[in-house]
Amino acid sequence: MTGTDDFTRTELFWAGAWHRPISTDRLSLVSPSTGRPIGQVPDAAPEDVNAAVRAARDAIAPGSEWAGLSQADRADAIERLATSLQARDGRIKELLGHEIGRPVHGPPRPNRAAEILRYYAGLARTRVAEQARPSPDPRPAGSVRVSRVRYEPVGVTAAIVPYNGTLEMGLYKVGPALATGGSVVFKPSPQAPLEAYHLAEAALEAGIPAGVINIITGGARAGRTLVEHPGTDLVAFTGSTGTGRMIAESCGRALKPSVLELGGKSAAVVLDDADLDHFSRMVPYLCFTFAGQNCFIHSRILAPRSRYDEVVEAVVTAAHSITVGDPFDPDTRMGPLISAEHRDRVEGMIRAGSAEGADIVTGGGRPGHLSRGWYLEPTVFANAGNHMSISREEVFGPVTAVIPYRDEEEALALANDSEYGLAGSVWTSDQARGAALAARVDSGSVGVNTYGFNSAAPLHGRRASGLGGELGPESLHAYTRYQSLHLTGL
Ligand code: NAD
Protein backbone atom coordinates (compact mmCIF):
# COMPACT_ATOMS: atom_id res chain seq x y z
CA MET A 1 0.00 0.00 0.00
CA THR A 2 1.41 3.41 -0.89
CA GLY A 3 0.55 6.63 0.87
CA THR A 4 -1.74 7.68 -1.98
CA ASP A 5 -3.98 4.64 -1.96
CA ASP A 6 -4.34 4.13 1.78
CA PHE A 7 -8.01 4.68 2.54
CA THR A 8 -7.81 3.62 6.19
CA ARG A 9 -10.45 5.08 8.50
CA THR A 10 -10.18 4.55 12.21
CA GLU A 11 -13.44 6.06 13.49
CA LEU A 12 -17.16 5.56 13.45
CA PHE A 13 -19.76 8.31 13.27
CA TRP A 14 -22.55 8.85 15.71
CA ALA A 15 -24.22 11.74 17.56
CA GLY A 16 -22.80 14.12 14.95
CA ALA A 17 -19.15 13.35 15.76
CA TRP A 18 -16.36 10.87 15.02
CA HIS A 19 -15.60 8.27 17.69
CA ARG A 20 -12.84 5.75 18.20
CA PRO A 21 -14.63 2.41 18.36
CA ILE A 22 -14.55 0.16 21.39
CA SER A 23 -13.88 -2.72 19.02
CA THR A 24 -10.24 -3.36 18.18
CA ASP A 25 -11.24 -5.58 15.23
CA ARG A 26 -10.56 -4.24 11.77
CA LEU A 27 -11.89 -5.05 8.29
CA SER A 28 -9.24 -5.15 5.57
CA LEU A 29 -10.04 -3.49 2.28
CA VAL A 30 -8.56 -4.96 -0.88
CA SER A 31 -8.66 -3.41 -4.34
CA PRO A 32 -10.39 -5.86 -6.70
CA SER A 33 -8.47 -4.51 -9.67
CA THR A 34 -5.03 -5.11 -8.18
CA GLY A 35 -5.60 -7.57 -5.34
CA ARG A 36 -3.62 -5.21 -3.10
CA PRO A 37 -4.66 -3.95 0.35
CA ILE A 38 -5.89 -0.37 0.32
CA GLY A 39 -6.71 0.17 3.97
CA GLN A 40 -8.80 -0.82 6.96
CA VAL A 41 -11.96 0.30 8.71
CA PRO A 42 -13.34 -0.63 12.15
CA ASP A 43 -15.35 -3.83 12.51
CA ALA A 44 -17.88 -2.45 15.00
CA ALA A 45 -18.58 -4.42 18.16
CA PRO A 46 -22.07 -4.63 19.70
CA GLU A 47 -21.07 -1.85 22.14
CA ASP A 48 -20.33 0.44 19.19
CA VAL A 49 -23.69 -0.40 17.63
CA ASN A 50 -25.37 0.35 20.97
CA ALA A 51 -23.80 3.81 21.06
CA ALA A 52 -24.97 4.58 17.52
CA VAL A 53 -28.52 3.36 18.21
CA ARG A 54 -28.64 5.44 21.40
CA ALA A 55 -27.58 8.51 19.41
CA ALA A 56 -30.26 7.81 16.81
CA ARG A 57 -32.92 7.47 19.52
CA ASP A 58 -31.85 10.71 21.20
CA ALA A 59 -32.07 12.50 17.85
CA ILE A 60 -35.80 11.79 17.53
CA ALA A 61 -36.77 12.09 21.20
CA PRO A 62 -39.45 14.68 22.02
CA GLY A 63 -37.76 18.05 22.43
CA SER A 64 -34.84 17.19 20.13
CA GLU A 65 -33.82 19.63 17.41
CA TRP A 66 -34.85 17.20 14.63
CA ALA A 67 -38.23 16.40 16.19
CA GLY A 68 -38.94 20.12 16.51
CA LEU A 69 -38.27 21.02 12.87
CA SER A 70 -41.08 21.73 10.43
CA GLN A 71 -41.38 19.54 7.34
CA ALA A 72 -40.13 22.50 5.26
CA ASP A 73 -37.00 22.74 7.44
CA ARG A 74 -36.43 18.99 7.10
CA ALA A 75 -36.80 19.28 3.35
CA ASP A 76 -34.19 22.06 3.36
CA ALA A 77 -31.83 19.84 5.38
CA ILE A 78 -32.23 17.00 2.86
CA GLU A 79 -31.53 19.46 0.01
CA ARG A 80 -28.35 20.61 1.74
CA LEU A 81 -27.25 16.99 2.12
CA ALA A 82 -27.86 16.48 -1.61
CA THR A 83 -25.69 19.52 -2.40
CA SER A 84 -22.86 18.33 -0.13
CA LEU A 85 -22.85 14.87 -1.68
CA GLN A 86 -23.01 16.26 -5.21
CA ALA A 87 -19.90 18.34 -4.50
CA ARG A 88 -18.10 15.10 -3.59
CA ASP A 89 -19.02 13.34 -6.83
CA GLY A 90 -15.51 13.34 -8.33
CA ARG A 91 -13.86 12.06 -5.14
CA ILE A 92 -16.49 9.36 -4.69
CA LYS A 93 -16.10 8.12 -8.29
CA GLU A 94 -12.35 7.84 -7.79
CA LEU A 95 -12.83 6.06 -4.49
CA LEU A 96 -15.15 3.52 -6.10
CA GLY A 97 -12.49 2.78 -8.71
CA HIS A 98 -10.19 1.68 -5.90
CA GLU A 99 -12.70 0.12 -3.57
CA ILE A 100 -15.01 -1.87 -5.84
CA GLY A 101 -13.30 -1.59 -9.23
CA ARG A 102 -16.10 0.43 -10.80
CA PRO A 103 -14.91 2.20 -14.00
CA VAL A 104 -14.18 5.83 -13.21
CA HIS A 105 -14.74 7.17 -16.74
CA GLY A 106 -17.50 6.64 -19.25
CA PRO A 107 -20.54 8.51 -20.48
CA PRO A 108 -21.59 11.30 -18.09
CA ARG A 109 -24.36 10.24 -15.73
CA PRO A 110 -26.64 12.33 -13.56
CA ASN A 111 -25.66 12.40 -9.91
CA ARG A 112 -27.95 9.73 -8.48
CA ALA A 113 -27.24 10.64 -4.86
CA ALA A 114 -28.42 14.21 -5.35
CA GLU A 115 -31.34 13.08 -7.51
CA ILE A 116 -32.63 10.65 -4.87
CA LEU A 117 -32.26 13.09 -2.01
CA ARG A 118 -33.91 15.94 -3.93
CA TYR A 119 -36.81 13.65 -4.69
CA TYR A 120 -37.24 12.92 -0.97
CA ALA A 121 -36.82 16.61 -0.11
CA GLY A 122 -39.81 17.21 -2.40
CA LEU A 123 -41.84 14.53 -0.63
CA ALA A 124 -40.86 15.97 2.77
CA ARG A 125 -42.09 19.38 1.73
CA THR A 126 -45.57 18.19 0.80
CA ARG A 127 -46.01 15.58 3.54
CA VAL A 128 -48.86 16.25 5.94
CA ALA A 129 -48.48 15.70 9.68
CA GLU A 130 -52.09 14.65 10.15
CA GLN A 131 -55.41 14.29 8.39
CA ALA A 132 -58.97 14.71 9.69
CA ARG A 133 -61.17 11.73 8.74
CA PRO A 134 -64.88 12.18 9.48
CA SER A 135 -66.65 8.92 10.21
CA PRO A 136 -68.42 7.76 7.01
CA ASP A 137 -71.60 6.79 8.89
CA PRO A 138 -73.96 9.03 10.84
CA ARG A 139 -73.12 8.60 14.52
CA PRO A 140 -75.09 9.29 17.71
CA ALA A 141 -73.86 12.08 19.96
CA GLY A 142 -70.96 10.98 22.14
CA SER A 143 -69.51 8.43 19.72
CA VAL A 144 -66.60 8.87 17.29
CA ARG A 145 -67.52 11.57 14.73
CA VAL A 146 -64.06 12.30 13.42
CA SER A 147 -60.58 10.89 13.78
CA ARG A 148 -57.37 12.81 13.47
CA VAL A 149 -54.88 10.46 11.83
CA ARG A 150 -51.41 11.50 12.93
CA TYR A 151 -48.34 10.58 10.83
CA GLU A 152 -45.30 9.95 13.01
CA PRO A 153 -41.83 8.73 12.06
CA VAL A 154 -41.44 4.98 12.55
CA GLY A 155 -38.39 5.76 14.70
CA VAL A 156 -34.84 4.50 14.21
CA THR A 157 -34.12 2.73 10.92
CA ALA A 158 -31.38 0.13 10.71
CA ALA A 159 -30.16 0.59 7.12
CA ILE A 160 -28.00 -2.26 5.81
CA VAL A 161 -26.67 -2.37 2.26
CA PRO A 162 -24.62 -4.58 -0.10
CA TYR A 163 -21.31 -3.80 -1.77
CA ASN A 164 -22.60 -2.87 -5.20
CA GLY A 165 -24.15 0.51 -4.40
CA THR A 166 -23.38 1.75 -0.90
CA LEU A 167 -24.48 5.32 -1.31
CA GLU A 168 -27.36 4.79 -3.71
CA MET A 169 -28.89 1.91 -1.71
CA GLY A 170 -28.14 3.83 1.49
CA LEU A 171 -29.98 6.93 0.28
CA TYR A 172 -33.00 4.81 -0.69
CA LYS A 173 -33.30 4.41 3.10
CA VAL A 174 -31.87 7.67 4.45
CA GLY A 175 -34.16 9.67 2.10
CA PRO A 176 -37.51 8.35 3.40
CA ALA A 177 -36.25 8.14 6.99
CA LEU A 178 -35.33 11.84 6.99
CA ALA A 179 -38.40 12.87 5.00
CA THR A 180 -40.65 11.36 7.68
CA GLY A 181 -38.64 12.81 10.60
CA GLY A 182 -36.88 9.60 11.62
CA SER A 183 -33.22 8.77 12.15
CA VAL A 184 -30.85 6.14 10.75
CA VAL A 185 -28.01 3.88 11.75
CA PHE A 186 -26.37 2.97 8.46
CA LYS A 187 -24.19 -0.09 7.99
CA PRO A 188 -22.47 -0.48 4.63
CA SER A 189 -21.01 -3.73 3.33
CA PRO A 190 -17.64 -4.73 4.81
CA GLN A 191 -16.40 -4.89 1.21
CA ALA A 192 -17.40 -1.33 0.34
CA PRO A 193 -17.64 0.87 3.43
CA LEU A 194 -15.84 4.00 2.23
CA GLU A 195 -18.68 5.89 0.55
CA ALA A 196 -20.48 5.85 3.90
CA TYR A 197 -17.72 8.05 5.36
CA HIS A 198 -18.53 10.61 2.68
CA LEU A 199 -22.16 10.47 3.74
CA ALA A 200 -21.13 11.22 7.33
CA GLU A 201 -18.93 14.11 6.22
CA ALA A 202 -21.68 15.46 3.99
CA ALA A 203 -24.15 15.22 6.89
CA LEU A 204 -21.79 17.31 9.03
CA GLU A 205 -21.32 19.89 6.26
CA ALA A 206 -25.06 20.04 5.64
CA GLY A 207 -25.80 20.69 9.32
CA ILE A 208 -27.97 17.59 9.73
CA PRO A 209 -28.72 17.54 13.48
CA ALA A 210 -26.55 15.22 15.55
CA GLY A 211 -27.66 11.60 15.65
CA VAL A 212 -30.02 11.76 12.67
CA ILE A 213 -27.48 9.93 10.48
CA ASN A 214 -25.04 7.52 12.16
CA ILE A 215 -22.50 5.26 10.45
CA ILE A 216 -21.27 1.92 11.69
CA THR A 217 -18.84 -0.17 9.66
CA GLY A 218 -18.74 -3.90 10.19
CA GLY A 219 -19.79 -7.25 8.87
CA ALA A 220 -22.52 -9.75 9.73
CA ARG A 221 -21.97 -9.34 13.50
CA ALA A 222 -22.70 -5.61 13.37
CA GLY A 223 -25.60 -6.25 10.99
CA ARG A 224 -27.19 -8.83 13.30
CA THR A 225 -26.76 -6.56 16.31
CA LEU A 226 -28.55 -3.75 14.50
CA VAL A 227 -31.37 -6.01 13.34
CA GLU A 228 -31.91 -7.56 16.77
CA HIS A 229 -31.42 -4.33 18.69
CA PRO A 230 -34.49 -3.32 20.71
CA GLY A 231 -33.67 0.30 19.87
CA THR A 232 -34.20 -0.08 16.12
CA ASP A 233 -37.79 0.18 14.87
CA LEU A 234 -37.45 -0.73 11.18
CA VAL A 235 -34.89 -2.76 9.24
CA ALA A 236 -34.35 -1.52 5.70
CA PHE A 237 -32.13 -4.04 3.98
CA THR A 238 -30.71 -4.48 0.49
CA GLY A 239 -28.65 -7.57 -0.17
CA SER A 240 -28.81 -11.24 -0.99
CA THR A 241 -31.94 -13.31 -0.62
CA GLY A 242 -30.18 -15.60 1.88
CA THR A 243 -29.33 -12.75 4.25
CA GLY A 244 -32.76 -11.24 3.67
CA ARG A 245 -34.44 -14.45 4.82
CA MET A 246 -32.38 -14.45 8.04
CA ILE A 247 -33.33 -10.84 8.70
CA ALA A 248 -37.01 -11.56 7.98
CA GLU A 249 -36.94 -14.44 10.50
CA SER A 250 -35.33 -12.28 13.15
CA CYS A 251 -37.74 -9.38 12.53
CA GLY A 252 -40.65 -11.82 12.52
CA ARG A 253 -39.76 -13.03 16.01
CA ALA A 254 -39.50 -9.45 17.27
CA LEU A 255 -42.54 -8.29 15.25
CA LYS A 256 -40.30 -5.57 13.86
CA PRO A 257 -41.15 -4.33 10.35
CA SER A 258 -38.63 -4.78 7.57
CA VAL A 259 -38.22 -3.67 3.97
CA LEU A 260 -36.17 -6.19 2.01
CA GLU A 261 -34.68 -5.58 -1.45
CA LEU A 262 -33.09 -8.86 -2.50
CA GLY A 263 -31.68 -10.78 -5.45
CA GLY A 264 -32.88 -11.04 -9.02
CA LYS A 265 -32.90 -13.21 -12.13
CA SER A 266 -34.47 -10.86 -14.61
CA ALA A 267 -35.40 -11.69 -18.18
CA ALA A 268 -35.32 -9.57 -21.32
CA VAL A 269 -38.14 -10.74 -23.60
CA VAL A 270 -37.05 -9.96 -27.16
CA LEU A 271 -40.13 -10.07 -29.41
CA ASP A 272 -40.02 -11.00 -33.09
CA ASP A 273 -40.41 -7.34 -34.18
CA ALA A 274 -37.65 -5.97 -31.90
CA ASP A 275 -35.11 -3.44 -33.17
CA LEU A 276 -32.03 -5.55 -32.48
CA ASP A 277 -29.58 -2.69 -33.07
CA HIS A 278 -31.22 -0.74 -30.26
CA PHE A 279 -31.38 -3.86 -28.08
CA SER A 280 -27.70 -4.60 -28.72
CA ARG A 281 -26.73 -1.07 -27.71
CA MET A 282 -28.58 -1.55 -24.40
CA VAL A 283 -27.08 -4.97 -23.61
CA PRO A 284 -23.87 -3.64 -21.98
CA TYR A 285 -26.05 -1.80 -19.46
CA LEU A 286 -28.70 -4.52 -19.11
CA CYS A 287 -26.38 -7.48 -18.70
CA PHE A 288 -22.90 -6.26 -17.83
CA THR A 289 -23.21 -3.11 -15.67
CA PHE A 290 -20.61 -3.30 -12.90
CA ALA A 291 -19.48 -6.68 -14.26
CA GLY A 292 -23.00 -8.03 -13.75
CA GLN A 293 -22.96 -7.27 -10.03
CA ASN A 294 -26.31 -5.55 -9.92
CA CYS A 295 -29.72 -6.71 -8.77
CA PHE A 296 -31.53 -5.76 -12.00
CA ILE A 297 -29.08 -7.57 -14.30
CA HIS A 298 -30.85 -9.34 -17.15
CA SER A 299 -29.11 -12.70 -16.98
CA ARG A 300 -31.80 -14.35 -19.13
CA ILE A 301 -32.52 -13.22 -22.67
CA LEU A 302 -35.58 -14.84 -24.21
CA ALA A 303 -35.29 -14.96 -27.99
CA PRO A 304 -37.92 -16.06 -30.57
CA ARG A 305 -36.83 -19.20 -32.44
CA SER A 306 -37.50 -17.33 -35.72
CA ARG A 307 -34.74 -14.79 -34.88
CA TYR A 308 -32.69 -16.77 -32.41
CA ASP A 309 -29.33 -16.54 -34.21
CA GLU A 310 -29.78 -12.81 -34.80
CA VAL A 311 -30.46 -12.19 -31.11
CA VAL A 312 -27.42 -14.24 -30.07
CA GLU A 313 -25.34 -12.21 -32.52
CA ALA A 314 -26.71 -8.92 -31.12
CA VAL A 315 -25.76 -9.97 -27.58
CA VAL A 316 -22.32 -11.22 -28.63
CA THR A 317 -21.67 -7.99 -30.56
CA ALA A 318 -22.55 -6.05 -27.41
CA ALA A 319 -20.27 -8.23 -25.27
CA HIS A 320 -17.41 -7.65 -27.71
CA SER A 321 -17.96 -3.87 -27.56
CA ILE A 322 -17.13 -3.79 -23.84
CA THR A 323 -13.55 -2.95 -22.93
CA VAL A 324 -12.60 -4.85 -19.81
CA GLY A 325 -9.74 -3.38 -17.85
CA ASP A 326 -8.35 -1.20 -15.14
CA PRO A 327 -11.10 1.00 -13.68
CA PHE A 328 -8.91 4.09 -14.09
CA ASP A 329 -8.25 3.55 -17.80
CA PRO A 330 -10.49 5.99 -19.74
CA ASP A 331 -11.44 3.25 -22.23
CA THR A 332 -12.58 0.76 -19.59
CA ARG A 333 -16.30 0.02 -19.43
CA MET A 334 -16.16 -3.09 -17.23
CA GLY A 335 -13.90 -3.68 -14.25
CA PRO A 336 -13.30 -6.70 -12.03
CA LEU A 337 -15.53 -8.72 -9.73
CA ILE A 338 -15.47 -7.78 -6.06
CA SER A 339 -13.26 -10.59 -4.73
CA ALA A 340 -11.30 -13.69 -5.67
CA GLU A 341 -13.92 -15.86 -3.88
CA HIS A 342 -16.75 -14.28 -5.81
CA ARG A 343 -14.94 -14.77 -9.13
CA ASP A 344 -14.38 -18.43 -8.20
CA ARG A 345 -18.10 -18.75 -7.52
CA VAL A 346 -19.06 -17.18 -10.86
CA GLU A 347 -16.54 -19.40 -12.68
CA GLY A 348 -18.14 -22.40 -10.98
CA MET A 349 -21.52 -21.31 -12.36
CA ILE A 350 -20.04 -20.93 -15.85
CA ARG A 351 -18.67 -24.49 -15.62
CA ALA A 352 -22.09 -25.70 -14.47
CA GLY A 353 -23.74 -23.99 -17.46
CA SER A 354 -21.43 -25.81 -19.86
CA ALA A 355 -21.86 -29.12 -18.04
CA GLU A 356 -25.65 -28.76 -18.23
CA GLY A 357 -25.44 -28.38 -22.04
CA ALA A 358 -25.43 -24.66 -22.84
CA ASP A 359 -22.81 -23.32 -25.27
CA ILE A 360 -20.42 -20.51 -24.43
CA VAL A 361 -20.45 -18.31 -27.53
CA THR A 362 -18.15 -15.66 -26.13
CA GLY A 363 -16.15 -15.21 -22.94
CA GLY A 364 -16.14 -17.82 -20.23
CA GLY A 365 -12.63 -17.10 -19.01
CA ARG A 366 -10.30 -14.53 -17.51
CA PRO A 367 -9.09 -11.79 -19.88
CA GLY A 368 -5.55 -12.69 -20.93
CA HIS A 369 -4.22 -9.13 -20.92
CA LEU A 370 -4.91 -8.54 -17.20
CA SER A 371 -2.39 -10.28 -14.99
CA ARG A 372 -3.77 -9.19 -11.63
CA GLY A 373 -7.19 -8.42 -10.18
CA TRP A 374 -10.39 -10.46 -10.37
CA TYR A 375 -11.51 -9.95 -13.91
CA LEU A 376 -13.77 -12.10 -16.03
CA GLU A 377 -14.76 -11.77 -19.67
CA PRO A 378 -18.33 -10.82 -20.56
CA THR A 379 -19.81 -14.26 -21.10
CA VAL A 380 -22.76 -15.27 -23.27
CA PHE A 381 -24.38 -18.69 -23.31
CA ALA A 382 -26.49 -19.84 -26.27
CA ASN A 383 -28.84 -22.83 -26.42
CA ALA A 384 -29.58 -22.41 -22.74
CA GLY A 385 -32.69 -23.80 -21.09
CA ASN A 386 -34.70 -22.11 -18.37
CA HIS A 387 -34.22 -25.21 -16.19
CA MET A 388 -30.41 -24.83 -16.10
CA SER A 389 -28.67 -23.46 -13.03
CA ILE A 390 -27.37 -20.43 -14.99
CA SER A 391 -31.02 -19.57 -15.71
CA ARG A 392 -32.32 -20.17 -12.20
CA GLU A 393 -29.68 -18.94 -9.77
CA GLU A 394 -28.50 -15.37 -9.39
CA VAL A 395 -24.98 -15.30 -10.89
CA PHE A 396 -24.08 -11.72 -9.93
CA GLY A 397 -21.41 -11.70 -12.60
CA PRO A 398 -20.97 -10.83 -16.30
CA VAL A 399 -22.87 -13.85 -17.58
CA THR A 400 -26.06 -13.97 -19.60
CA ALA A 401 -27.93 -16.88 -21.21
CA VAL A 402 -29.96 -16.68 -24.43
CA ILE A 403 -32.97 -18.98 -24.17
CA PRO A 404 -35.14 -19.79 -27.21
CA TYR A 405 -38.95 -19.59 -27.16
CA ARG A 406 -41.71 -20.60 -29.59
CA ASP A 407 -44.38 -17.93 -29.14
CA GLU A 408 -45.24 -14.96 -26.93
CA GLU A 409 -47.15 -17.08 -24.39
CA GLU A 410 -44.17 -19.36 -23.95
CA ALA A 411 -41.87 -16.33 -23.60
CA LEU A 412 -44.11 -14.99 -20.83
CA ALA A 413 -44.26 -18.35 -19.09
CA LEU A 414 -40.45 -18.62 -19.17
CA ALA A 415 -39.97 -15.04 -17.93
CA ASN A 416 -42.30 -15.77 -14.99
CA ASP A 417 -40.85 -19.20 -14.25
CA SER A 418 -38.37 -17.91 -11.68
CA GLU A 419 -38.05 -17.80 -7.92
CA TYR A 420 -37.25 -14.10 -8.35
CA GLY A 421 -39.40 -11.18 -9.46
CA LEU A 422 -37.34 -8.01 -9.40
CA ALA A 423 -36.95 -6.52 -12.87
CA GLY A 424 -37.32 -7.35 -16.55
CA SER A 425 -37.88 -5.84 -19.96
CA VAL A 426 -39.70 -6.34 -23.28
CA TRP A 427 -38.16 -5.38 -26.64
CA THR A 428 -40.44 -4.66 -29.58
CA SER A 429 -41.18 -2.08 -32.30
CA ASP A 430 -44.76 -1.94 -31.07
CA GLN A 431 -44.86 0.01 -27.79
CA ALA A 432 -48.49 -0.97 -27.06
CA ARG A 433 -47.76 -4.66 -27.60
CA GLY A 434 -44.71 -4.33 -25.37
CA ALA A 435 -46.61 -2.55 -22.59
CA ALA A 436 -49.40 -5.19 -22.68
CA LEU A 437 -46.89 -8.01 -22.34
CA ALA A 438 -44.81 -6.17 -19.72
CA ALA A 439 -47.90 -5.82 -17.52
CA ARG A 440 -48.11 -9.63 -17.42
CA VAL A 441 -44.47 -10.08 -16.38
CA ASP A 442 -44.58 -11.02 -12.70
CA SER A 443 -41.88 -8.58 -11.53
CA GLY A 444 -41.84 -5.39 -9.52
CA SER A 445 -40.54 -3.31 -12.42
CA VAL A 446 -40.47 -3.96 -16.16
CA GLY A 447 -39.14 -1.77 -18.98
CA VAL A 448 -40.34 -1.55 -22.57
CA ASN A 449 -37.36 -1.02 -24.89
CA THR A 450 -35.43 0.23 -21.87
CA TYR A 451 -34.72 -0.48 -18.24
CA GLY A 452 -33.68 1.86 -15.46
CA PHE A 453 -34.63 3.58 -12.24
CA ASN A 454 -36.95 6.45 -11.54
CA SER A 455 -36.91 7.83 -8.00
CA ALA A 456 -40.62 8.60 -8.29
CA ALA A 457 -41.57 4.98 -9.14
CA PRO A 458 -41.48 2.18 -6.56
CA LEU A 459 -38.98 -0.66 -6.69
CA HIS A 460 -40.84 -3.58 -5.14
CA GLY A 461 -39.25 -6.98 -5.63
CA ARG A 462 -41.66 -9.93 -5.63
CA ARG A 463 -41.20 -13.44 -4.20
CA ALA A 464 -37.51 -14.12 -3.46
CA SER A 465 -36.65 -10.59 -4.67
CA GLY A 466 -38.07 -8.87 -1.65
CA LEU A 467 -40.72 -7.70 0.74
CA GLY A 468 -42.06 -4.18 0.62
CA GLY A 469 -40.10 -1.71 -1.40
CA GLU A 470 -38.27 1.52 -1.91
CA LEU A 471 -38.65 4.74 -3.91
CA GLY A 472 -41.79 6.56 -4.94
CA PRO A 473 -44.22 8.11 -2.44
CA GLU A 474 -45.20 4.52 -1.49
CA SER A 475 -41.84 4.14 0.28
CA LEU A 476 -42.85 6.63 2.99
CA HIS A 477 -45.44 4.21 4.36
CA ALA A 478 -42.83 1.85 5.90
CA TYR A 479 -41.12 4.80 7.59
CA THR A 480 -44.36 6.10 9.09
CA ARG A 481 -46.42 5.01 12.03
CA TYR A 482 -49.95 6.16 12.47
CA GLN A 483 -52.05 7.18 15.41
CA SER A 484 -55.80 7.74 15.20
CA LEU A 485 -57.13 10.30 17.68
CA HIS A 486 -60.88 9.64 17.92
CA LEU A 487 -63.02 12.68 18.68
CA THR A 488 -66.69 13.28 19.05
CA GLY A 489 -66.83 16.27 16.67
CA LEU A 490 -64.80 18.55 14.40
P1 NAD B 1 -25.05 -9.79 1.43
O2 NAD B 1 -26.43 -10.27 1.71
O3 NAD B 1 -23.92 -10.72 1.59
O4 NAD B 1 -24.70 -8.54 2.38
C5 NAD B 1 -25.52 -7.40 2.43
C6 NAD B 1 -25.33 -6.69 3.77
O7 NAD B 1 -25.86 -7.51 4.81
C8 NAD B 1 -23.87 -6.42 4.15
O9 NAD B 1 -23.81 -5.12 4.70
C10 NAD B 1 -23.59 -7.50 5.18
O11 NAD B 1 -22.56 -7.15 6.08
C12 NAD B 1 -24.93 -7.60 5.89
N13 NAD B 1 -25.18 -8.85 6.60
C14 NAD B 1 -24.65 -10.08 6.36
N15 NAD B 1 -25.20 -10.98 7.20
C16 NAD B 1 -26.07 -10.32 8.00
C17 NAD B 1 -26.96 -10.71 9.04
N18 NAD B 1 -27.05 -11.97 9.45
N19 NAD B 1 -27.73 -9.76 9.61
C20 NAD B 1 -27.69 -8.48 9.18
N21 NAD B 1 -26.87 -8.04 8.20
C22 NAD B 1 -26.08 -8.96 7.61
O23 NAD B 1 -25.10 -9.18 -0.05
P24 NAD B 1 -23.89 -8.72 -0.98
O25 NAD B 1 -23.13 -9.89 -1.44
O26 NAD B 1 -23.15 -7.57 -0.35
O27 NAD B 1 -24.71 -8.08 -2.21
C28 NAD B 1 -25.18 -8.80 -3.29
C29 NAD B 1 -26.65 -9.09 -3.21
O30 NAD B 1 -27.42 -7.89 -3.04
C31 NAD B 1 -27.20 -9.73 -4.46
O32 NAD B 1 -28.02 -10.82 -4.14
C33 NAD B 1 -28.04 -8.63 -5.09
O34 NAD B 1 -29.07 -9.06 -5.94
C35 NAD B 1 -28.56 -7.92 -3.90
N36 NAD B 1 -29.00 -6.56 -4.26
C37 NAD B 1 -30.35 -6.31 -4.35
C38 NAD B 1 -30.80 -5.04 -4.73
C39 NAD B 1 -32.28 -4.72 -4.83
O40 NAD B 1 -32.62 -3.55 -4.90
N41 NAD B 1 -33.16 -5.69 -4.85
C42 NAD B 1 -29.87 -4.04 -5.02
C43 NAD B 1 -28.52 -4.34 -4.93
C44 NAD B 1 -28.09 -5.60 -4.55
**Does 490 have pLDDT greater than 80?**
no
Q: How far apart are CA 221 and CA 262, in angstroms?
A: 19
- 158-173 per-position pLDDT tens digit: 999 999 999 999 999 9
Check residue 489 and give its pLDDT: 72
In the predicted model, is pLDDT for residue 93 greater than 80? yes
pLDDT digit string (tens) for 8-30? 999 999 999 999 999 999 999 99
Q: Is the pLDDT of residue 206 over 70?
A: yes
Out of 99, 261, 408, 470, pick the active-site residue: 261
* Residue 396 Cβ < 6 Å to ligand 1: yes
Query: Which residue puts its alpha carbon closest to atom 40 of ligand 1?
Result: 261
Query: With a 6 A CB cut-off, is 223 part of the ligand 1 pocket?
Result: yes
Counting from 1 in the atom list of ligand 1, the atom nearest the Cα of 422 is: 41
Q: Is the pLDDT of residue 2 over 80?
A: no
Helical ranges in 238-339 per DSSP H = 241-254, 276-288, 308-320
Query: Residue 364 above 60 pLDDT?
Result: yes
Q: Is the CB of 247 under 6 A from ligand 1?
A: yes
Residues 392-396, mean pLDDT to the nearest whole number: 97
Among the listed residues 93, 96, 1, 88, the one whose alpha carbon sits nearest the alpha carbon of residue 40: 1
For 226, the enclosing helix (H) or strand (E) is helix 220-228
Grade residue 386 by pLDDT with cuts at 50, 70 and 90.
very high
3-class SS at 355? helix
Cα separation of 451 and 456, whole Å?
15
- Distance in angstroms (rounded) separating the CA atoms of residues 347 and 485: 59
Give the H or E element holding residue 216.
Answer: none
Among 109, 55, 122, 52, CA closest to 82: 122
Does the pLDDT of residue 141 top 90, yes or no? no
pLDDT value at residue 4: 58
Instruction: Work out the average pLDDT over 75-90.
Output: 97
Sign of CA dihedral 41, 47, 50, 51: negative
pLDDT in tens, 264-318: 999 999 999 999 999 999 999 999 999 999 999 999 999 999 999 999 999 999 9
Q: pLDDT at position 109, please?
A: 82
Question: Which protein residue's CA is at the shortest distance from atom 16 of ligand 1?
Answer: 220
261 classed as catalytic: yes
Ligand 1 close to Cβ of residue 170 (< 6 A): no
Do residues 376 and 363 lie in contact, with contact meaning Cβ atoms separated by under 8 Å?
yes
Average pLDDT, the chain: 96
Q: Pocket of ligand 1, candidates 41, 290, 295, 475: which has the most ligand atoms within 8 Å of its Cβ, to mutate?
A: 295
> Residue 181 has what pLDDT?
98
Answer yes or no: is pLDDT of 417 > 90: yes
Q: In angstroms, how far is CA 95 from the centroid of its own chain?
A: 18
Q: Is 160 in the pocket of ligand 1 (CB under 6 A)?
A: yes
The string of pLDDT tens digits covering residues 28-41 is: 999 999 999 999 99
Q: What is the pLDDT of residues 125-139, one digit of tens each?
A: 999 989 999 998 877
What pLDDT is attached to residue 231?
Answer: 98
Compute the half-sphere exposure of residue 349: CA atoms within 13 Å on the CB side of its CA: 24
Per-residue confidence band for 110, with pLDDT thresholds at 50, 70 and 90: confident
Q: How far apart are the first and last CA of the chain?
A: 69
In the DSSP assignment, the letter for residue 413 is H
Give residue 260 CA to ligand 1 midpoint distance, Å.
Answer: 10
Residue 422 has a pLDDT of: 97
Q: Whose CA is nearest to atom 30 of ligand 1?
A: 239
Ligand 1: which of 116, 161, 172, 189 to mutate, judged by most atoms within 8 Å of the beta carbon? Answer: 189
In the chain, the percentage of residues whose pLDDT exceeds 90 is 95
* 1/37 Cα distance (integer angstroms): 6
Least confident among 96-110, 196-210, 474-488: 96-110
Instruction: Please report the pLDDT score of residue 334 as a whole number.
Output: 97
